[in-house]
Structure formats: structure tokens, C-alpha cells
């Protein structure tokens, strides 16, 4: 429903329910009232879903922060240990390549 139109519709619904004989025989004013109730229930559901989505997004941001902190801590430990382990040094080359490719990219200043 367009913004600002709900009040208009509710006004017409109230008047139609007060004067049902002024409508055509095919129209039942309670149909509009029922649809308005249905619309209101949908709006309440929509708001609940949005609130749940916001909560999930906040939890996801927190999890991502924890994940990155753990990853940084692991990288520091692995960087120290790679000096004494050839197989680890070889495996960490992938991390080095990843960082060369994606980390600290400056946007073009053209």
C-alpha cells in the first residue's frame, strides 16, 4: 500500500461498515476490514523478520571479528614456526601469495 494511504483506507472502511447498505450488493464491508487486519498481521510479521535478520547480522559480524582475530593469531604462530620447518615454510608460501595478491590493496588514485 502506498505511503499515507493506509489511513485513507481505514477511514473508508470505517464509513463503509457504518453504512453497509450504501455499497453495492456484491460488496461486503467486512471484507475490507478483514483485509486490513490481514495486512496489519503481515506488517507485524515483516517487522519481526527484520528484527531477527538484524540480530543474525550482528551475530555474524561478531563471529567474523572472532574468526579474523584467531586467524591473525594463528598466522603469527605459523610465521614463527616456519623458520624451523621446511614443510610449513612451503605451506605458508600460499599465505604469502594470498597476501601479495589481496592484502592491503590501495585503490587507484587516477
Can you state the percent helix, strand and coil of the chain, rounding each to 5?
80, 0, 20
**Alpha-carbon gap, residue 73 to 51, rounded angstroms:** 33
The predicted pLDDT at position 40 comes to 94
Check pLDDT > 60 for residue 110: no
Q: Express each pLDDT in 4-61 by its tens digit.
A: 899 999 999 999 999 999 999 999 999 999 999 999 999 999 999 999 999 999 999 9
The predicted pLDDT at position 74 comes to 97
Q: Are 39 and 47 in contact (CB under 8 A)?
A: no
The predicted pLDDT at position 107 comes to 58
Please provide residue 53's backbone torsions phi and psi, each rounded to the nearest 5 degrees. Answer: -60, -45
Amino acid at each position: 500500500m502506498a505511503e499515507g494511504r493506509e489511513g485513507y483506507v481505514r477511514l473508508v472502511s470505517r464509513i463503509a461498515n457504518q453504512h453497509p447498505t450504501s455499497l453495492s450488493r456484491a460488496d461486503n464491508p467486512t471484507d475490507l476490514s478483514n483485509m486490513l487486519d490481514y495486512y496489519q498481521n503481515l506488517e507485524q510479521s515483516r517487522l519481526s523478520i527484520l528484527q531477527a535478520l538484524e540480530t543474525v547480522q550482528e551475530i555474524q559480524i561478531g563471529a567474523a571479528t572472532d574468526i579474523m582475530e584467531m586467524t591473525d593469531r594463528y598466522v603469527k604462530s605459523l610465521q614463527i614456526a616456519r623458520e624451523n620447518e621446511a614443510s610449513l615454510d612451503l605451506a605458508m608460501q600460499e599465505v604469502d601469495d594470498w597476501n601479495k595478491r589481496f592484502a592491503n590493496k590501495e585503490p587507484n588514485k587516477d
